[in-house]
A and B are shown apart, each in its own frame.
Chain A
Amino acid sequence: MKKFISGNDAAVQGALASGAQAMYGYPITPSTEILQIWSEEADKNDRLIFLQTEDETTAGFAVNGSVLMGVKAFTATSGPGTVLMQDGLSMAENLRLPTVTIVMQRGGPSTGQVNYSQQELNLAVFGGNGEGLRIVYSAGTPQEMYDFTLEAFDSAWRYKFPTLVLGDGYIGKQKTEVELKHPLNPYQNSSLLAGKNLRNCYSSEEQFYEYLSKNILDFEEKSSLIARSESIGPKNAPELIVAHGSVFFVIREALKVIDPKSKKYQLFRPVTLRPFPKQDLKVAARGKKKIWFFESSYGQLYHLVSAELDAASVSAKIIKVFKPAYRFLPEDIADSLKGGK
């Protein structure tokens, strides 16, 4: 079924289709519609749970509580709200709680700007006081807000890691046709607490080291099942462009004009920022003369992958086009690529 809806609405529809039952949140532009639409759904349907909390910290921890009881629960936020969510997310990482957090990025630091950015990558991936044992999808269109929310609920409950869907204000507010494919088989949820004594704090370094190492190992092992990328254009192109989220789609549009015969550029995006599709990037980077990074942050994506490129001894010239908290239009991409720097 196709519907003409916003990216924020698509995220709610994705959550509903995944069997989400509870949502806790606090208003913040540009993700507020997720809260509003869920509250309207909950008004119509007694099975759905909704609470507008007094702040994001409470929302994050309430999600943890519901998930412990086996209920698919999520929250949605942005910017300074994403900062406050880190508390709950850290607990979820430590206890392997399958929470889902939808993040519609806005400009920072602090209250910055309410429209758009790609500056919450670091927070999404490594925001807690730990090792980033989280799954992070980067959506680029309203359709992907739907699709990746489905995938997020599935991965969260399947692998038991807190999972985030990263969107941005443009995607959230933009309305397009979205195909609402129902998942055939949403992953089954069940109580994580029944018959158990769980704890979030250990009394010795040794005990905790053992526990944490197991989680890290598990994350590493599951990574190859989760990590995903997408690539457009010829694999033997001389130049590689790396971008994520909505910037990927802007570049895709630009390339239709700049490289209509699809000869010069291969365009690569990580679909999951965490675990990162390292292998795919290494393969894409192989033999390239130039590698471009386009992002609406000051190198958060680049820093996430530069170590991988070094490790793969990539000798390409790296060109960074960073516009922190600023949009890209296809013509900006064309100008940068033509300028060659």
Chain B
Amino acid sequence: MNYKTMPKCYKNSSKPHFFCPGCGHAMILKQLGSTIDELKISAEVVFGIDIGCSLLAWDFFDFDTIQTHHGRVIPVMIGVKKANPKKVAVAYMGDGGGYAIGLQSLIHAAYRDDPVVAILVNNTNYAMTGGQMAPTTFPGEITTTSSSGKKSSGFGNYLDGLKLLSSVADQSAYLERVSVSNPRQIVSAFKKAFETSDKNHFSFIEILSICPTNWKTDAADSFEFLKNMEDKFPVQKYPLGE
């Protein structure tokens, strides 16, 4: 296989990867790899992964990688960074891992301004376990635990994690939401995040992503759904201290 167009930090022996065809995770990881290549920081990066479909990234790159425990990738990466401040600690998670079980860890990392680069892939469901509803699931959305559509009453509307974090994060933090529909913007957000980490502050990038398998969508409908997500979750840099 010719990997010329692939990031240099890819581990070739683990390709082709195991993500479903059309999965947003694979697109995002490619942008992450390119950014790390461009910044020449692959020797410094410690890549931490939650469990979710992100598990499939455990041997994706040629840099140090640790796949951790559900919801707990952020505290593990805090420990990594404290033990070796020269490292760039990246915590990669899904919206279930970050906004449900691990929300407490995420909020406190933002609040304390822990110098971790947190990346959250929002596909509005728990993909790895078969498409249950997540805090990001939209009212009316059908999942395997909302068979007649998510009811906002009793189950919540849909959680805008960035809005939440922007009210607790330190002024020096960096918070942005991007979408897989715009790879360039993903790279620029990653660069900002790494810059912020260099200055010893917290950064958080949420990426609106695609899960054709659990959404049961073809390519066109996947991007249609993504557009709907972009309408509801503002794709923007989030202001701090508001």
Binding site for B on A (CB under 8 A): 26-29, 32, 35-36, 39-40, 43, 51-52, 54-56, 80, 110-111
CB < 8 Å: which of A28, A55, A56 contacts B129? A28
B130 touches A55 (CB 8 A): no
Interface residues of B in 136-173 (CB under 8 A from A): 144-148, 154-155
CB < 8 Å: which of A29, A36, A54, A55 contacts B145? A36
Q: Is B103 positioned at the interface, with any CB of A under 8 Å from its CB?
A: yes
> Contacts A43-B147, A52-B155 known; A111 to B129 CB distance under 8 Å?
no
**15 CB < 8 A contacts A-B:** A27-B129, A27-B130, A27-B132, A29-B130, A32-B144, A35-B132, A36-B144, A39-B145, A43-B146, A43-B147, A52-B132, A52-B133, A52-B145, A54-B100, A55-B100
Binding site for A on B (CB under 8 A): 51, 69-71, 96, 100-101, 103, 126, 129-130, 132-133, 135, 144-148, 154-155
4 nearest interchain CB pairs?
Answer: A55-B101, A27-B129, A54-B100, A39-B145
> Contacts A27-B129, A55-B100, A55-B101 known; A39 to B69 CB distance under 8 Å?
no
Nearest Cβ distance between residue B133 and chain A, in whole angstroms? 6
Give the docked Cα–Cα distance between A51 and B146 (Å): 10
CB < 8 Å: which of A27, A36, A54, A80 contacts B135? A54
CB < 8 Å: which of A51, A54, A56, A111 contacts B51? A111
- Note all chain B residues with C-beta closer than 8 A to A110: 69
- Note all chain A residues with C-beta closer than 8 A to B71: 55
Residue of B nearest to A56 (CB): B101
A111 touches B101 (CB 8 A): no
Nearest Cβ distance between residue B75 and chain A, in whole angstroms? 14
10 further A-B pairs in the complex, CB-CB below 8 A; given A39-B144, A55-B100, A55-B101: A26-B100, A27-B96, A27-B132, A28-B129, A35-B145, A36-B130, A43-B147, A43-B148, A52-B145, A55-B71
B126 touches A27 (CB 8 A): yes
Give the docked Cα–Cα distance between A54 and B101 (Å): 5
> Contacts A32-B130, A52-B132 known; A40 to B147 CB distance under 8 Å?
yes
Residue of B nearest to A36 (CB): B144
A111 touches B70 (CB 8 A): yes
Nearest Cβ distance between residue A39 and chain B, in whole angstroms? 4
Residue of A nearest to B154 (CB): A51
Give the docked Cα–Cα distance between A36 and B101 (Å): 18
Residue of B nearest to A110 (CB): B69
A26 touches B101 (CB 8 A): yes
- Note all chain B residues with C-beta closer than 8 A to A26: 100-101
Nearest Cβ distance between residue A339 and chain B, in whole angstroms? 37
A80 touches B147 (CB 8 A): no
- Note all chain A residues with C-beta closer than 8 A to B103: 54
> Contacts A55-B71, A111-B51 known; A36 to B132 CB distance under 8 Å?
yes
Nearest Cβ distance between residue A74 and chain B, in whole angstroms? 16
Give the docked Cα–Cα distance between A26 and B129 (Å): 10
Give the docked Cα–Cα distance between A35 and B130 (Å): 12
Nearest Cβ distance between residue B52 and chain A, in whole angstroms? 11
A27 touches B69 (CB 8 A): no
Nearest Cβ distance between residue B73 and chain A, in whole angstroms? 12
CB < 8 Å: which of B69, B129, B155 contacts A29? B129
Give the docked Cα–Cα distance between A80 and B69 (Å): 8
Give the docked Cα–Cα distance between A132 and B223 (Å): 52
- Note all chain A residues with C-beta closer than 8 A to B133: 52
Residue of A nearest to B133 (CB): A52
- Note all chain B residues with C-beta closer than 8 A to A111: 51, 69-70
Residue of B nearest to A111 (CB): B51
Residue of A nearest to B135 (CB): A54
Give the docked Cα–Cα distance between A55 and B96 (Å): 9
> Contacts A51-B154, A52-B133 known; A27 to B101 CB distance under 8 Å?
no
Residue of A nearest to B102 (CB): A55
- Note all chain B residues with C-beta closer than 8 A to A29: 129-130
Give the docked Cα–Cα distance between A39 and B51 (Å): 23
- Note all chain B residues with C-beta closer than 8 A to A54: 100-101, 103, 135
Nearest Cβ distance between residue A83 and chain B, in whole angstroms? 10
- Note all chain B residues with C-beta closer than 8 A to A27: 96, 126, 129-130, 132, 145
B130 touches A39 (CB 8 A): no
- Note all chain A residues with C-beta closer than 8 A to B70: 80, 111
- Note all chain A residues with C-beta closer than 8 A to B129: 27-29, 32
A32 touches B132 (CB 8 A): yes
Give the docked Cα–Cα distance between A40 and B51 (Å): 26
- Note all chain B residues with C-beta closer than 8 A to A32: 129-130, 132, 144
- Note all chain B residues with C-beta closer than 8 A to A56: 101
- Note all chain A residues with C-beta closer than 8 A to B144: 32, 36, 39
Nearest Cβ distance between residue A71 and chain B, in whole angstroms? 16
